[in-house]
Amino acid sequence: MQRTRAELESMSHDDLVHRVLELQDLLREGLAVRGTLHAVLNALLAAKDAEVARFADADADALSLEEQELKRAWAAARHAVANPLGAARKHQAG
């Protein structure tokens, strides 16, 4: 639960320590999930290496609409693996 600054300032020291420990656990879990997703994307990209490379090198104008969508999807997957934070920011902005 998100709290306002006033709510946090009114909390006891023990409550604040408990909240910080809860947040650390949440962060640890989130990082574990991100690591797992990163590994899955890496495995997928490796398994589909030829297709990924073909679409990366293809001229978008020469592709069908479905192939253009595949080109964008593979590019997004590569971006997520290479720069997960940048991909998350792009997703939030988009």
Q: Are the C-beta atoms of 86 and 79 separated by less than 8 Å?
A: yes
Tell me: pLDDT of 94 over 80: no
Decide which of 43 and 80 is more confident.
43
Which residues have a Cβ under 8 Å from the Cβ of 75 and sit 6 or more positions away?
55, 56
What range defines the domain where residue 65 resides? Answer: 5-93
**Per-residue model confidence as pLDDT tens digits over 77-90:** 888 888 877 777 87
Q: How confident is the model at residue 1 (pLDDT cuts 50, 70, 90)?
A: low
d(CA 34, CA 37): 5
Entry pTM: 0.62
Average pLDDT, the chain: 90
What's the confidence (pLDDT) of residue 81? 84
Number of domains in the chain: 1
Q: How many DSSP H helices and E strands does the chain contain?
A: 5, 0
